[in-house]
Chains A and B, each alone.
Chain A
Amino acid sequence: EAGVVQSPRYKIIEKKQPVAFWCNPISGHNTLYWYRQNLGQGPELLIRYENEEAVDDSQLPKDRFSAERLKGVDSTLKIQPAELGDSAVYLCASSLRGLAGGINTGELFFGEGSRLTVL
């Protein structure tokens, strides 16, 4: 079974430029997460989708970050314009997390991440 696939693995851009990251979750996983991980820190949630719906985007800096999950499968995370402080690893994860009354396995499956460097 294929795992969570992310691209690109590395991206170097000048500040004020746009950048986009793509994620393909594990087939059948209804919940998708974007996390940001700064150097030496744990991942911090940016946005969580259940199917197509963004159910938690409270930590997403909406002035410059946007995300979408069309058809409830693949997802893209965009930053426009990028700032120096956006340099980090952007991790995508998926899980089979149930809706109310449903099954919640709890475990997250992560991709390898996209390392962004803003110069």
Chain B
Amino acid sequence: SQQGEEDPQALSIQEGENATMNCSYKTSINNLQWYRQNSGRGLVHLILIRSNEREKHSGRLRVTLDTSKKSSSLLITASRAADTASYFCATDGGYGNKLVFGAGTILRVKS
């Protein structure tokens, strides 16, 4: 079963535009993580935000977390063609709990 649900399922934008992906989850978490997966490859960790944090930045990535709404968003600014990939959120319930992935958002950046 998958806890996180990403929205939208697919997103197509022009190079240079911003891309926003959302993730909703159901149970309490210790942290929430975002991963990227290029076609035919493994997942690559992008960013981790802990339950006591509200916003985090890493390069062109900005992640927000609203634990009261059980939701998170990933913003990619000034997108590039190389950002084309699937993006997954994953919730971590803490020690003893498994990391649960959502179904992902497919992002296509057109050049």
Taking Cβ atoms with an 8 Å cutoff, the residues of A that contact B are 4, 33, 35, 40-45, 48, 56, 91, 93, 97-98, 100, 104, 106-113, 115
Contact = CB atoms under 8 A, between A and B. Distances in A.
Contact of B98 (A45, A100, A109, A115): A45
A42 B103 contact: yes
Nearest to A58: B98
B103 A100 contact: no
Contacts of A56: 98
Contact of A107 (B48, B94, B98, B104): B48
Contacts of A48: 98
A91 B37 CA distance: 12
Nearest to A111: B42
Contacts of B88: 42-43
A97 B94 CA distance: 10
Given A48-B98, A100-B95, A107-B33, A43 B48 contact: no
Residue of A44, A100, A104, A108 most packed against chain B (CB within 10 A):
A108
Residue of A4, A44, A48, A100 most packed against chain B (CB within 10 A):
A44
A36 to B, nearest CB: 11
Contacts of B78: none
Given A40-B103, A42-B102, A112 B41 contact: yes
25 contacts: A33-B99, A41-B104, A42-B104, A43-B43, A43-B101, A44-B1, A45-B98, A48-B98, A56-B98, A91-B43, A97-B95, A100-B95, A106-B33, A107-B33, A107-B45, A107-B48, A108-B35, A108-B45, A108-B99, A110-B42, A110-B43, A110-B44, A111-B42, A112-B41, A113-B41
